[in-house]
Amino acid sequence: MTDIPFPDLPALATDLRKQLADRAARKPDKSPFILLYAFNGTGKTRLSGAFKDIGKKIGKEGAALSRDTLYYNAFTEDLFNWDNDLENDTNRKLKLNPNSQFFIGLNELEIETRIRPLLDRYADFDFKLTFDFDKSTGKIASAEVAFSRKVLVGEGDNARTEDREGIKISRGEESIFIWCFFLAILQLALDDAEAYKWVEHVYIDDPISSLDEHNAIVVGNHLVQLYREAQRPIKTVVSTHHALFFNVLHYELKNRVGRPTQYVLKRNRLTEGYILAEQTGDTPQFYHVNALADLWLVAQSGQAKTFHFNILRTLLEKTSLFLGHEHFSACIKEAADDADGILHQRFVDLLSHGKYSMYEPAEMGDDTRDYFMTILRGFVERHPFNRKLVPEPVAEAAEEATP
């Protein structure tokens, strides 16, 4: 696995663009893909912002003259905001920001008929999109979406369905609607619609943030299907913290569009920069190893808090799963009747998922810290991790702290 260091996110984004351009030059009839895996908080959303900013041309007055990236990230949802009809509480609407390039040309492209079949895959509500136009410019002056849902009223022979208009949909349903809105626009760009010829790059960061297993598969399959049917290839980056979604995209892209370039995105703890670690497999595997390295750094600094028992438990669980054990205690105990191992398992239980953890202060007492170090040191010694992850001074510090 090759690690590529970068001093900051703009430098990383510039390199991603170069990689996409190189792949597009080699296979101009294919949409080149880069697939990134990263933990939340690593900088995925900021990277998507740096990526799209590089494609902007800014005028003398600071306004964007042109751009080349259609993106979906946490800021995309900010283009939509609710009018909750606080006076009457009956006619709630989701308003669109008409100044965004995201919505350019929608008045000419029957966007409703494009969104509806996409939305039907995910939701049971309907919608109506309304535009007002500025006659002097021909551009959208305002736009809003009203939602409705069929509900069952009455009982027995009198039961019937009726439409409830102006409803407020849930936050999750709103995210699904905005994702489908984005997909409809992406489809226009892939179909080479005139209004979206400016799209040369697509950057998608964690679609529908709380994906369950079913939707991770559906969204991944659906997204790749659009590219498979594309009229023109578009260079694309997808970043996610969802391991199953990463796995689904790996196989869908490889089988239907072309093998993606894949990386795990990490922070460089030594330089405060970033690292792209090449990922050739179908899963961002061994990311629990990063947690081990972080935990050792905490141990070396003497800054371990009680919540680090949660991280330790996660590390033990992922290692036991990888090794095929039924319970994380197999990574602690030498044998079923190992008294010390049983005690250490109980410490991990109580100070992570147990009710007692609600009342435990953030700071560890000396005795608790000693047990933490003993469990962590024993885990490392019992399993053949790369010793570069555990520099000798840390191991020595753990030995000194052992009771």
Whether the predicted pLDDT of 358 surpasses 50: no
Over the stretch 122-178, which tens digit does the pLDDT of each residue have? Answer: 888 999 998 888 777 767 788 899 999 998 888 877 888 888 888 999 888 898 999
Among 251, 96, 242, 92, smallest CA distance to 182 is for 96
Residue 400's pLDDT is 46
Is position 180 within any domain?
A: no
Residue keyed to tokens 């939305």: 119
Same domain? 159 vs 303: no
Let me know whether 266 and 308 are in one domain.
no
Beta-bridge partners for 6: 274
Q: Can you give the pTM of this predicted structure?
A: 0.70
224, 252 contact by CB (below 8 A): yes
Rounded distance, CA 247 to CA 237, Å?
A: 15
Last residue in a domain, options 266, 282, 298: 282
Instruction: Examine the domain organization and report whether 20 and 42 are in the same domain.
Output: yes
Q: Which of 95-109, 192-206, 312-326, 363-377 has the lowest mean pLDDT?
A: 312-326
Residue 327 DSSP one-character state: S
pLDDT band for 357, please (50, 70, 90 cuts). very low
| Tokens at 199, concatenated | 């799209």
Is 190 part of any domain? no
Q: In the structure encoding, which two tokens stand for residue 366, read together?
A: 């000396």
What residues are paired with 164 via a beta bridge? 149
Q: List the alpha helices (DSSP H) in 29-125.
A: 44-54, 111-119
Q: What's the CATH number where 263 sits?
A: 3.40.50
Q: Are residues 224 and 294 in the same domain?
A: no
Terminal CA-CA length for the chain: 39
The answer to whether residue 189 is domain-embedded is no
Helix (H), strand (E) at residue 23? helix 9-26
SS3 assignment, position 211: coil
Q: How far is the C-alpha of 369 from the C-alpha of 377, rounded, in Å? A: 12
| Judgement on whether residues 18 and 167 belong to the same structural domain of the protein | no
What is the percentage of the chain residues whose pLDDT exceeds 90?
Answer: 34
Domain-located, residue 132? yes
Q: Look at residues 254, 288, 190 and name the one whose alpha carbon lies nearest to residue 35.
A: 254
Helices (H), 196-258: 213-228, 243-256
pLDDT given for residue 244 in this prediction? 81
Among candidate residues 343, 321, 323, 318, the one with its CA nearest the CA of residue 332: 343
Which residue has better confidence, 318 or 59?
A: 59
Q: What is the pLDDT of residues 250-260, one digit of tens each?
A: 989 999 999 99
Residues 300 and 395 in one domain: yes
Query: Does any domain span residue 192?
Result: no
Candidates 285, 205, 202, 217; CA nearest to 36 is: 205
Q: Of 172, 192, 211, which one is at a domain's C-terminal end?
A: 172
Neighbours of 153 (CB within 10 A): 10
Q: What are phi and psi of 276, to 5 degrees?
A: -100, 115
Would you say residue 11 lies in a domain?
yes
259: DSSP letter: P
Q: CA-CA distance, 218 to 331, in Å (whole number)?
A: 35
Where in the sequence is the domain holding 385, given as residue range(s)?
Answer: 287-401
Q: What contacts 10, CB < 8 A, 6 or more positions away?
A: 50, 53, 54
Average pLDDT over residues 69-95: 88
State how far the Cα of 16 lies from the Cα of 236, in Å rounded to an integer: 10
Q: What is the count of structural domains for the chain?
A: 3
- Any domain includes 332: yes
Average pLDDT over residues 300-317: 78
Structure tokens at 10: 């703009």
